[in-house]
Amino acid sequence: KQNIVFDCDPGSDDSIAILETFAHPEALQVLGMTTVGGNGILANVTKNLQHLLWFLKQEVPIAPGQATPIIKNLQNATDIHGENGLAGPTFPAEADKYPLASNNGVTFLHQIISQSSTPITIVATAPLTNIALLLKVFPEDRENIQQIVIMGGSLSKGNVTPQAEFNFFVDPDAADIVLTSGLPIVLCGLDVTNNTGLSSEQIKTLEHRGPASQLAYEILTPYFQAEKGEGLKRAAIHDLATITYLLDPTIYQGEHYQLHVNSSWGELRGQVEINSTTEGSANVLVLKKVDIERASQLLLDSLALLDQK
Ligand code: BDR
Ligand code: CA
């Protein structure tokens, strides 16, 4: 069983990743979750996380982290995820009451990691602002971090600019701090996440199948419509790749690199770049291939498990 902390900005695809996570308590123990400004403003993505955890009947401690990137201004993705960061479902007022354990996500993560008796896996599906600050402010926590599994970046092409993926584009300074930290990292970039998801036929099968499947249906239907505008043939549930990888790494194949992120203000901002030096370790496992069928089946099975709870 892996102990994880999960930093996110839900977010349609973050939400599906969260559903898959809580379908597998036998494999993933979630010690805490944090939010960060990204797909929507911090207040909205935090509210969305509260709603999801209320729906899932969880009692996981959560805390909002940084509202804006370390240096650059925040750019949202409300065109894809909706004005409130999670288009589609509605939740009762009671769901707003899901408690916040702290108002400072970075120190909250530090407390969990420093107090854990076993090393922690960090899952990060949003701009890396909180994680970069954690590594800078509490460098001693490095010793208790087993790995950081990130959705972000791309070695092929971007989705905000020709080169840059959204999470790395929004806070390239944070992405650079994390990738160059030397810690063991698994990078689920667009190279695989564009193929981690469901077809419109698969999404349709979720309707009325059960409460969790229905929620996924309500989230994925507008999300797929928005993504289709970007020319994608299936709903690319990017953030899901992190959890799918943790649940079954054999679904993916990757290669190790030493990387940094272009944090200039120029047109290459947010681009992942391979270090030409051979000094230091190739600490980043970049996932390059995914077995689409197995990844989508794992999600469908996970939702069915949740439906029965
Ligand atoms: C990433 O950007 C966000 O919009 C998604 O939630 C995902 O984390 C994909 O580029
Ligand atoms: Ca996200």
CA–centroid distance, 305 to ligand 1, in Å, is: 25
pLDDT score of 309: 86
pLDDT score of 98: 98
CA–centroid distance, 223 to ligand 2, in Å, is: 13
- The protein residue with its alpha carbon nearest to ligand 1, atom 10, reads 166
User: Residue 125 CA: which ligand 1 atom is closest?
Assistant: 8
Taking the chain (309 residues) in runs of 10, the rounded mean pLDDT of each run is 98 98 98 98 98 98 98 92 93 97 98 97 98 98 98 96 97 98 98 92 95 98 84 87 98 97 96 85 96 97 96
Cβ–Cβ < 8 Å for 84, 107: no
pLDDT score of 69: 98
User: Residue 12 CA: which ligand 1 atom is closest?
Assistant: 6
Q: Which ligand is nearest to the CA of 12?
A: 1
Using a 6 Å cutoff on CB, does residue 11 contact ligand 1? yes
Residue type, position 270, single letter: G
pLDDT score of 234: 83
Tokens of 87: 């288009």
pLDDT score of 228: 75
How far apart CA 306 and CA 288 sit, in angstroms, is 29
74 secondary structure, DSSP code: P
Q: Which ligand is nearest to the CA of 236?
A: 1
Burial (CB count <10 Å: 0-12, 13-18, 19+), residue 92: exposed
Using a 6 Å cutoff on CB, does residue 35 contact ligand 1? no
User: Residue 77 CA: which ligand 1 atom is closest?
Assistant: 4
Report the SS3 class of residue 81: helix
Using a 6 Å cutoff on CB, does residue 176 contact ligand 1? no
- Give the residues across from 257 on adjacent strands: 284
pLDDT score of 281: 86
pLDDT score of 229: 66
Q: What own/partner pairs with CB < 8 Å and gap ≥ 24 does 160-166 have?
A: 160/270, 161/267, 161/269, 161/270, 161/271, 163/262, 163/267, 163/268, 163/270, 163/271, 164/262, 164/268, 164/269, 164/270, 164/271, 165/189, 165/190, 165/270, 165/272, 166/38, 166/77
Q: Which ligand is nearest to the CA of 160?
A: 1
Three-class SS of 98-123: CCCCCCCHHHHHHHHHHHCCCCEEEE
ipTM passes above 0.90: yes
Q: Which residues are known catalytic residues?
A: 238
